[in-house]
Chain A
Amino acid sequence: MAQTLFEKIWQQHLVTSLDDDNHLLYIDRIFLHERTGSIALESLADSGRPVRHPQQVFCTMDHIVDTVPGRNDDTRMPSGTLFIQSTRRAAHAAGIHLFDLGDPRQGIVHVISPELGIVQPGATLICPDSHTCTQGALGAMAWGIGSSEAEHALATQTLRLKKPPQMRVCFDGELASGVTAKDMMLYLISRHGADGGAGYAIEFAGAAVAALSIEARMTLCNMAVEFAAFTALIAPDHKTFAYLQGREFAPKGEDWQCAVADWSALHSDPDAKFDREIRIDCAAIAPFVTWGTSPQHACAITETVPAPAALNSASETQAVERALKYQDLQPGTALLGLPIQNAFIGSCTNARLEDLRAAAAILRGRKVATGVRAICVPGSQQVKAAAEAEGLDRIFLEAGFEWRESGCSMCFFAGGEHFPRRARVISTTNRNFESRQGPETRTHLASPATVAASAIAGFIADARQLAPLS
């Protein structure tokens, strides 16, 4: 019978069916971080249950650690040092892989897992972190869970699951110049709502997805959770294999040949059935930016803030009224030209090498506007080192950006840092929720190029109108 990519991976990991609806699925890889992983490890130890396979468990420090140069276990996050040190203790006691502070492999979990070859096509990977769906870009079944579920996986190397419904989102055609994976996702979520993909396992497909680099595919899958999806994934191809080859935890030698042969069958069969299909013509997608407090509150950068009355239901209208009040915006205001006080390039969404290159291409030879605080936090220490080897750090620093150590940083108060009260921030992150980046901060989500162009201008600006300077 014809199967989707997701069904193939599901089938390959089915340990047993508990009843008609509930299944026990094998988990190949577990990733933890110091915010939610520490508590899962400690709670498991308290219950007297061992970690079943420590070799299959990985942990990084990203959610609480500082990103300021010269950092150590100290952090402005209340009780942060306690989380860092208890995670370290629990990781050592359990014998799992730990990418600690000072380790050149440390970084944001969803950046380092692909970078180290820990996630692989056809594998199952879970992490108590909602953006675990990022890793589906490699053709894996990777999804976020809570701490209790993480404990279950640590103890049994399985999870109890119902099979989610399947959706395929086809991005047809070609992206216009200056349009990125970030814009594709903001477009999708704005058109179909922040709960538009509720509960689905989503396969991203189509010519525009095939044309994306692996790093850009990660940006696409990253925001599937902002679409309320169970997870997202993309069929692995020659780009995926080339990306993984030679990475630390990727298969080697003869194993590599066998793995690639196996991975090559990982695609949806031509007549596979999806419960829902969405097709998007990429010609319609422009650089996008959010105006409100949900990722669905997004529009083309050249558009204006919509009027609440134009919406379908009373609760939606009220939500938009509230969002506009919070964001201090009026209907009809143009997004282009809106003054910003802060610019942030970082997070599991947009802090990989290509993202930093795209921003640097705009920043080269230019200066951040007076009064704007601009920060770049590379997604991993390896990304940081690679960027420095290309001289990107000089471009950021000369433009007036801060250049940080890796971590989640001001995506959400990581390291205890935040933007000032009511400050307007243009950000490459994934969530524009109320107070996510600081008390009452007004976040606008956008691509790295848009953030860089806006940092230079001092207001929301269209990167397409800035020619690169040599």
Chain B
Amino acid sequence: MQAFVRHTGIAAPLLRPNIDTDAIIPSREMKQVSKRGLDVGLFAAWRYSDVDARTPNPDFVLNQNAYAGCSVLLGGANFGCGSSREHAVWALVEYGIRAIIAPSFGAIFQQNCVRNGLLPIVLDAEAVEALAARIQTDPRALPLTVDLEQQHMTLPDGGRWSFDIDATHREMLLKGLDPIALTLTQEAHITAFEALQRKHRPWLYSPLQTSAV
């Protein structure tokens, strides 16, 4: 997993609340059994005026010159709600998004972000709106620097916002850790638990043994 320590990039505002994962990556855009090839489907229903012909919709923020090459999104509350599809995060990462700043996130989406090196920052709604208003005056001259180590964001004009983040998420992102490898070091605990559970709650296992696989 790609680590996240510090990143500077253009930040684009998508401030509406409840942006769901169907909007981020529609079902029909997931065309391969793969974590890649998803960036062209990102926000397809909003980004294209004709989805099949891939005609860009000039009104959509990511299609505007001022935000070309953006790598940070400013979102509304409950960002990433809805379907658990991790494709939403894979599509954002492939497109080049490194951090999303929103008042709250869908829980599964937030977890998926951390698992893929995409930094989800929770910031209260007023602060997100203030940040967006400031950047919108000249997005290309005001790239946002997100520093996970220091837990703050800065603009070249001196604007500065601190943020809190779950300590575990921070460590996973800073070091780009593989949680499966970490958990496998707990093998002795897992084996001991399984032996105990099979003894005390055998009914969880017995129907599985008798059924043909």
B71 at the A/B interface (Cβ < 8 Å)? Answer: no
Which residues of B124-140 have CB atoms within 8 Å of chain A's CB atoms?
125, 129
Whether B180 contacts A156 by the Cβ 8 Å rule is: yes
Whether B186 contacts A24 by the Cβ 8 Å rule is: yes
Residues in B with CB closer than 8 Å to A379 are none
A280 at the A/B interface (Cβ < 8 Å)? Answer: no
Whether B208 contacts A294 by the Cβ 8 Å rule is: no
Instruction: Indicate which residue in A78, A147, A262 contacts B86 across the interface (CB closer than 8 Å).
Output: A147
Residues in A with CB closer than 8 Å to B2 are none
B150 at the A/B interface (Cβ < 8 Å)? Answer: no
Which residues of B151-206 have CB atoms within 8 Å of chain A's CB atoms?
166-168, 179-180, 182-184, 186, 189-190, 193-194, 197, 201-206
A274 at the A/B interface (Cβ < 8 Å)? Answer: no
How near does chain B come to A53, taking the closest CB pair, in angstroms? 8
Residues in A with CB closer than 8 Å to B22 are 412, 431, 433-436
| Also in contact, A194 and B190, with CB within 8 A (given A21-B168, A43-B35, A248-B207) | no
Residues in B with CB closer than 8 Å to A245 are none
Residues in B with CB closer than 8 Å to A79 are 31-32
Alpha-carbon distance A318/B129, docked complex (angstroms): 14
Alpha-carbon distance A194/B201, docked complex (angstroms): 37
Alpha-carbon distance A24/B191, docked complex (angstroms): 13
Whether A123 contacts B18 by the Cβ 8 Å rule is: no
Alpha-carbon distance A228/B107, docked complex (angstroms): 7
Instruction: Indicate which residue in B83, B115, B194, B202 contacts A130 across the interface (CB closer than 8 Å).
Output: B83
Alpha-carbon distance A148/B83, docked complex (angstroms): 15
Whether A130 contacts B213 by the Cβ 8 Å rule is: no
Whether A55 contacts B45 by the Cβ 8 Å rule is: no
Alpha-carbon distance A255/B15, docked complex (angstroms): 54
A243 at the A/B interface (Cβ < 8 Å)? Answer: no
Alpha-carbon distance A146/B83, docked complex (angstroms): 9
Whether A117 contacts B86 by the Cβ 8 Å rule is: no
Which residues of B26-59 have CB atoms within 8 Å of chain A's CB atoms?
26-28, 30-35, 45, 51
Q: Can you give 29 contacting A-B residue pairs, CB < 8 Å?
A: A16-B186, A16-B193, A21-B168, A26-B193, A39-B35, A55-B205, A55-B209, A78-B31, A95-B213, A130-B108, A145-B108, A151-B180, A152-B180, A195-B77, A195-B81, A199-B107, A228-B104, A248-B211, A258-B203, A262-B201, A313-B125, A315-B17, A315-B129, A319-B17, A319-B18, A416-B28, A431-B20, A433-B22, A435-B22
Q: Contact residues of A with B, CB < 8 Å?
A: 15-16, 18, 21-22, 24, 26, 28, 35-36, 38-39, 42-43, 47, 49, 54-56, 77-79, 82-83, 86, 95-97, 117, 120, 122-123, 128-130, 144-149, 151-152, 155-158, 160, 162, 194-195, 198-199, 225, 228, 230, 248-252, 255-256, 258-259, 262, 294, 296, 313, 315-316, 318-319, 322, 412-414, 416, 431, 433-436, 439-440
Pairs A-B, 10 closest by C-beta atoms: A251-B203, A146-B86, A146-B112, A255-B203, A148-B115, A130-B84, A16-B189, A195-B78, A259-B203, A413-B27
